[in-house]
Chains A and B, each alone.
Chain A
Amino acid sequence: MRRKGDTELVTNEVKLLLAAISMTTSGDSEFHGYSLAKELARLEGAQTPMSQSTLYRALRRLEERGALHSRWESIEESQAEGRDGPPRRYYTVTAPGVAAARDAVAKSEQAKLASPWQTWVPSFEGQ
């Protein structure tokens, strides 16, 4: 299901963003959907990449939020690579995307550290 208040990344989006950052740090500044799904499968130890319906919806949402930027491959590029097939759509992680991933990881860590009763106590900080 979709996020509650449309403000936070949902789990799949965080996973994809982290896989995208992983690819970027290992030298692939640009990646296409299938390579990202494969990277995610590798990180998670899964055998099958994420389904297309989930993958590309999540990528679209991440792009709408400014976490990713995309461009279509030109015919010249694919010819230069000696590759045939349909043109790829290449994605890059943006600075807001890295920040959003960092926030999501920090929140996840906080949630892990917080004891169950603390998560239910309302915060009075700032009052």
Chain B
Amino acid sequence: MRNQQRVALFYGSLIVSSLMGDYDSQRGRGDSGGPQWPVHRSETAVLSWGGYLDRALTWGLEPLERDEILHERAADRFEHLADPDSSISSVLARSIWSAVGDIWFRFVGVETSALPLAIVFAVVGIGALADAFSRGITPILAGLNIVTGIGYLAMAAAGLRQPRKLQRTWLLPGLVLASIGTMAGAITLPPTPEAGLFGWVAKIALAGVGTGLAVVAVTLIRPHFERVWIIRGGVIIWGSALFMAVGEVGWTIADAPIYSSRWSSLMVAFACVVGATVIARLRNIEVA
């Protein structure tokens, strides 16, 4: 590693450390008064940055569980650095690889949190709001897009407030707004002549998403909460999003994009598939 990189790593870690106030705890020293073994500055930086990655990627876990994970990994990194067979690049590479693993486990793997769902909802919400202000859109559709956008953003907030749970107080109004906006949008959306069959695909897919959202909303409103209906609603949303993706791809192949370019159609299709996949992975999400 070049000296400049080492210096950059070191000062970067110092800045973040000072902001977070845990420089000593990352080193595992507490109040012991600094290192007792000869460490290079870049090693210190790797220890610190590894700790910050761990902190970021364990966000939202139970405090005790998180504390144990952070301590155990800090000890592991320390041992790895002290290992005579290892090099600083191997420690750095392992930390980065570990972060990639964490992202996988927490976003699409078996430990999915509400965060990816919140991100998907936020993207859809922002997209709906952006659509509302695009040119050539009718005032009714613009209004419905705004309703839908606000609904999705509220649903995103439900996932951001309690990372491992969707908070009902935000989720429910969001679901109602998004469902009304999406279904009304599906009814109002005029299939353009050039869109043909795929215009109907979009209408049906939107109606499906709206129905799925409504199923989840009604399940949450009902006094006897039946979780299975949330899963069924999710399956309807998932299927509709995939149907939408198929429609978008078909639209692009037929050279009749509803959007400004083929790329935007394909991007919508991609977003639908990613969104549907994320939703499908979130069967274990709790509603608090």
Contacts and interface: CB of A to CB of B under 8 A. Distances in A.
A15 interface: no
B71 A53 contact: no
Contact of B37 (A33, A51, A84, A89): A84
Contacts of A1: 109-110
Contacts of A89: 68, 71-72, 75
A10 to B, nearest CB: 10
B82 interface: yes
A34 B79 contact: yes
Contacts of A87: 28, 71, 75
Contacts of A54: 98, 101
Interface in B186-208: none
A35 interface: yes
Contacts of B75: 32-34, 85-89
Given A53-B102, A56-B69, A56-B73, A35 B79 contact: yes
B112 to A, nearest CB: 11
Contacts of A84: 28-29, 32, 35-37
Interface string B11-35: 0000000000000000011001001
Contacts of B97: 51, 53
Chain B contact surface mostly: helix
A57 interface: yes
Interface residues of B toward A: which range? Answer: 35 or more
A52 B105 contact: no
Nearest to B105: A53
A57 B83 contact: no
Interface string B47-75: 00000001000000000000011011111
Interface string B193-231: 000000000000000000000000000000000000000
Contacts of B36: 84
Contacts of A47: 90
Q: Tell me which of A47, A48, A86 has the highest count of chain B C-beta atoms within 10 A of its own C-beta.
A: A86
Nearest to A54: B101
Contacts of B77: 52
B189 to A, nearest CB: 38
Q: Tell me which of A32, A34, A38 has the highest count of chain B C-beta atoms within 10 A of its own C-beta.
A: A34
Q: Tell me which of A1, A2, A35, A57 has the highest count of chain B C-beta atoms within 10 A of its own C-beta.
A: A57
Interface string A41-62: 0000001110111111100000
B28 A33 contact: no
Interface string A11-49: 000000000000000000000111101100000000111
A86 B35 CA distance: 12
Interface of B: 28-29, 32, 35-37, 54, 68-69, 71-80, 82-83, 90, 93-95, 97-102, 105, 109-111
22 contacts: A1-B110, A32-B79, A33-B72, A33-B76, A34-B75, A35-B79, A47-B90, A48-B94, A49-B80, A52-B54, A52-B77, A52-B95, A53-B98, A53-B101, A54-B101, A55-B76, A56-B69, A72-B71, A84-B35, A87-B28, A87-B71, A88-B75
Interface of A: 1-2, 32-35, 37-38, 47-49, 51-57, 72, 84-89
Minimum-distance CB pairs A-B, first 4: A53-B101, A86-B28, A34-B79, A52-B98
